[in-house]
Amino acid sequence: MKIIYTDSYYQMSRVAANLISAQVIMKPNCVLGLATGSTPIGTYTQLIRWYEKGDLDFSQVTTINLDEYKGLSPENDQSYRYFMNTHFFNSINIRPEQTHVPDGLEPDSVKACHDYNKIISDCGGIDLQLLGLGLNGHIGFNEPGSAFEKETHCIDLTESTIRANSRFFASMDLVPKQAYTMGIKTIMQAKKIVVIVNGAEKAQIVRDAFFGPITPKVPASVLQLHNDVTLVGDKEALSLVPEVE
């Protein structure tokens, strides 16, 4: 694993955007795996700036998002489809039909997951996967205890995630209790993985995930087994990374 230390959220976002830009420039028809949450917003903002300057072209890019709340429509401002449209897709020249997010309105979980797996395999897999890190070590919505061999599946959100994500909703009761998420098996099949982390509250889980035992109790720990992971963080989030002797 490669670790890139940066001084601030802004610098972390620029580095991540640079890595994504390199992928898009080297392979204009690449497949990008994308994430939601607060962490990647700065990365998307930077990519939009470079697109506006004429340095990036997304016209041939395909995107596959990690997850979506079950039951939320694309118009719901808390859905991940809405997040992606407003923070990224609406501001670049990507073709809307080449952007994929699980269908939160599909009530049949088996169908929703099967359809999403088919989209991923039809695209030929993911070239670069961007990941944030949940406070309990989740990636996408693969919560602690998730089997490493799963593809897209429907999960019950843990109490800790519902609490963490309730900051975006008017009340805890409005946070959906289930979500569709790309599985760890699919994430691990991405050719490259870029994990972004910022803020002191992530320091302990960064240490546990990347320097602790590999265990389903800390889903992100599986990333230690991938051969092309870049961890990009600000100094607070990387403050507990053990020093190399």
Active-site positions? 67, 136, 138, 143
x-marked contacts with ligand GLP along 117-156 as a string, rule CB under 6 A = ---------------xxx-----xx---------------
Report the alpha-carbon distance of residue 168 to residue 119 in Å, rounded: 29
Residues in contact with ligand GLP, counted by CB under 6 A, come to a total of 14
Name residues whose C-beta falls within 8 Å of residue 161's C-beta, 6 or more positions apart in sequence.
134, 135, 136, 138, 141, 143
| 165 lies in the site for ligand GLP, by CB under 6 A | yes
Q: Read out DSSP for 9-59? A: HHHHHHHHHHHHHHHHHH-TT-EEEE--SSTTHHHHHHHHHHHHTTS---T
Q: Which of 38, 86, 90, 93 touches ligand GLP (CB under 6 A)?
A: 38
Residue 102 in contact with ligand GLP, rule: CB under 6 A: no
Paired tokens of 243 = 């020093």
Which range touches ligand GLP (CB under 6 A), out of 33-41, 71-79, 97-105, 224-232? 33-41
User: With respect to ligand GLP, which residue has the nearer C-beta, 12 or 56?
Assistant: 12
Question: Is residue 67 near ligand GLP by the rule CB under 6 A?
Answer: yes
Interatomic CA distance for residues 217 and 6, integer angstroms:
28
CB of 39 to ligand GLP, least distance (A): 3
Tokens of 20: 């994504």
Which of 94, 90, 74 is closest to 82 using CA atoms? 74
Smallest gap from Cβ 43 to ligand GLP, in A, equals 11
Question: Could you say whether residue 104 binds ligand GLP (CB under 6 A)?
Answer: no
| Contacts of residue 107, Cβ cutoff 8 Å, sequence gap at least 6 | none
Which stretches of the chain bind ligand GLP, using CB under 6 A?
A: 35-39, 66-67, 132-134, 140-141, 161, 165
